[in-house]
Structure 1
Amino acid sequence: MRAFIFPGQGSQSVGMGKALADASTVAREVFQEVDEALGQHLFRVMCEGPESDLTLTENAQPAIMANAIATLRVMEKEGGIRLADKADFVAGHSLGEYTALCAAQALDLSTAARLLKLRGRAMQAAVPVGEGAMAALLGADIEKAQALADAAAEGEICTVANDNDPTQVVISGHRGAIERAVAMVKDHGIKRGVLLPVSAPFHCPLMQPAADAMAQALAQAEMRGPLVPVYANVLAAPIAAPDDIRARLVEQVTGRVRWRESVMAMFDAGVTEFVELGGKVLGPMVKRSAPDATVTSIITMDDIEAALAGF
């Protein structure tokens, strides 16, 4: 069995999508549709930067989605494959869940782009700059990370945001609590704590205003049943009913990204091959969680051709 997986924020880079668009009319059409949906020249920012504009949450989220969907569309239209024939499940990391839903045709491309633009803006606006922070805990499993977060909170928000793999967990919350946690890592048997260069504390209760904004937007968004089940971040389990998907996407804004558990659940369900489209961030996490799985990252036209030959 095979799962198609889609990366989250942090996988963006200036120049993303340019070679694909130069080589494929199909890719160019995806980027053009996203630009039109958003009423901005996002693809120009993707190609030319500046990096500071691309890393803005409201730009990075739709850009990462567009790049992955362009990769998939080239495979589908030029390679003659159907996602439903080649993938048993789809999943994405944080914003990548929207990409997965678009890939599985639960959301159309324009709707996914507009939702992610709004999501990025709402997440940025939820907490004043400087009040929140996130940190990666290296050499930490979920138990050690939770114990550290509890010890560092001291009445503030400090919670596990991303359970990425058995060796990497991300915490999120008030800046003071996160800084205390980083200073305390050695006491909890954790190798390192690294503050992340993010502009807001994602996936923690401080994001409730953004969750409220997404609840309103998702209630009005057209959603269809996906071609294949989507593993929800907050459940680490497959879902397919549109109202269930909406509810889980709202919960995801403040809830934990249970990526390690999602990978293991897919592996236990029989998935032996994970294919990451539009990035190479998730592959190493998958290998650390499920060492016996096969992982492929598809970014370039050469990657696409090699993958098509192997399917």
Structure 2
Amino acid sequence: MGKLAFIFPGQGAQYVGMGKQISEQYKSAEVIFDQASEALGFDVKKMIFEGDEETLKITENTQPAILTTSVACMQPLLEKGIKPDVVAGLSLGEYSAHVAAGTMDFKDAVALVRKRGKYMQEEVPVGVGAMAAIVGLDNDSVIECCKEAQSEGVVEPANFNCPGQIVVAGEVKAVEKAAELCKSKGAKRAIMLPVSAPFHCSMLKGAGEKLAMELAKIELNDMAIPVVSNVTAEYVTDKNLVKDLLIKQVSSSVLWENSVRKMIDDGVDTFVEIGPGKTLCGFIKKIDKDAKTLNVEDMETLNKVLEELGG
């Protein structure tokens, strides 16, 4: 068998009730939800299991909620001796990956991503920034359209998710212009996204600087497993590089497609997406249709993974 990767989703995958089934069946998962409440000083479990979509959609709630759910859903796999050779996560998911790799203590991570969400939200006033998904156009054409649209303001590629799916971010007018140009160049679709801030572009530099001050307060550990960085799409094995990469990540493009290719080139043939949704599984299938993808978010998906991977 080839290598196994655990991958973790980012913002947008959240839903009320995520992780509930697994936490009811596995004490180790429930403990993670309790630790999150302890670290943040409010009932995280209640917000995720019984809250409402609107509250969960607020960035400073979404980020710790997804991280907590992902780390909780991973516990049964670790309990059954299923351990990854490499880990990676999309944007916010990179923090879940660092918890999985042992770089970061869960309680530190959950407090950190709550602040990360707050800083990202506050950096750009609501209504000033936007994001759009461009479907069916190659990377170079999208980069070209962004350059052309910069006459209207800031617009940059934010996520290279998979072949033919790139997200751009920046100021509203410039993003609309870039979307228009992409369509005229042959994009199948250019969809404005329902987000409250222009993530992963230079407009969020200030949020990265505030995050740096929080990161300075926490102690990192040596990694037990390599993590693929969003910023470089390369393995990080030195804990001393992690903080700088996480600061840059806030305002840099997420190189997800290249990160996945890196893992595949290194012999990974099975990816398990852990946490809400299976967006990343979809991206991976578009990158390499032969890769095996599984996900864990409830008892049904967990049991399937345990069966497949022999836990």
The reply to whether TM is greater than 0.5 is yes
State the partner residue of 2:293.
295
* SS, match of residue 268 in structure 2: coil
How far apart are the structure 1 equivalents of 2:298 and 2:16? 15
Q: Which residue of structure 2 aligns with residue 52 of structure 1? A: 54
Contact 2:295 2:305 in 1 (8 A): no
1:254 paired residue number: 251
For residues 240-291 of structure 1, the C-alpha deviation after alignment (integer angstroms, 9 at most, x for no partner) is: 2112011110110000100000001111111111111113110010110112
TM-score between both structures, scaled by the size of structure 1: 0.95
Residue identity (%) = 39
Cα distance in 1 between the residues matched to 2:226 and 2:250 = 20
- TM-superposed CA distance for 1:82, in Å, is 5.3
Match of 2:5 in 1: 3
Amino acid at match of 1:165: C
Say if 2:149 is the partner of 1:147: no
SS of the counterpart of 2:290?
A: coil
AA in 2 matched with 1:161:
A
Q: Distance in 1 between matches of 2:138 and 2:43?
A: 41
Flag structure 2 segments of 5+ consecutive residues without an equivalent.
none
Name the CA distance, whole Å, in 2 between partners of 1:108 and 1:47. Answer: 24
Please give the secondary structure, in 2, of the residue aligned with 1:220.
coil
Instruction: Provide TM-score, normalisation by structure 2.
Output: 0.95
CA RMSD of aligned residues (A): 1.2
Aligned equivalent of 2:45: 43
Alignment of 1:207-218 (within 5 A): 207-218=204-215
Checking the alignment, whether the CA contact within 8 Å between 2:137 and 2:182 is kept in structure 1 is no
Match of 1:111 in 2: 108
Aligned partner letter, 2:284 = V
Shift of 1:309: 2.8
Checking the alignment, whether the CA contact within 8 Å between 2:152 and 2:173 is kept in structure 1 is no
Question: Do structure 1's residue 228 and structure 2's residue 230 form an aligned pair?
Answer: no
> 2:203 matched to which residue of 1?
206
Moved more, 158-167 or 214-223: 214-223
Equivalent residue number for residue 88 of structure 1: 85
State the Cα distance separating 1:152 from its structure 2 match.
1.3
Provide the C-alpha distance between the structure 2 equivalents of 1:42 and 1:177, rounded to a whole number of angstroms. 37
Supply the AA of the counterpart residue of 1:73: Q
The offset of 1:238, in angstroms, is 0.3
CA deviations 1:208-250 (Å, max 9, x no partner) are 1110011111122111121110000000000021120111101
Q: Residues 129-208 of structure 1 correspond to what in structure 2 (within 5 A)?
A: 129-154=126-151, 156-208=153-205
Measure, in 2, the Cα distance between the counterparts of 1:243 and 1:250: 13
Corresponding residue to 2:279 among 278, 281, 301: 281
Structure 1 range deviating more: 18-27 or 275-284 = 18-27
Q: Which structure 1 residue ranges, 5 or more long, are not aligned? A: none
Match of residue 31, structure 1, among 33, 44, 49: 33
- Structure-2 residue corresponding to 1:12: 14
Secondary structure at the aligned position of 2:68 is classed as helix
- In 1, Cα distance between equivalents of 2:215 and 2:152: 32
- Whole-Å separation in 2 of the counterparts to 1:291 and 1:24: 33
**Alpha-carbon separation, structure 2, partners of 1:249 and 1:201:** 17
Q: Distance in 1 between matches of 2:52 and 2:152?
A: 39
Letter in 1 for 2:287: S
Distance 2:138 2:11 in 1: 22
Pick which of 146-155 and 61-70 moved more.
Answer: 146-155
CA contact (8 A) 2:17 2:49 kept: yes
8 Å Cα contact 1:144/1:190 also seen in 2: no
Q: Secondary structure at the match of 1:272?
A: strand
> 1:182 offset after TM fit, Å?
2.2
Residue equivalent to 2:68: 66
2:265 paired residue among 265, 268, 279: 268
CA deviation after TM superposition for structure 1 residue 155, in Å: 5.3
Letter of the 1:47 partner, please give it: F
Quote the offset at 1:60 in angstroms: 0.6
Instruction: State the Cα distance separating 1:186 from its structure 2 match.
Output: 2.1
The aligned length equals: 306
Separation (CA, whole Å) in 2 of partners of 1:273 and 1:169: 24
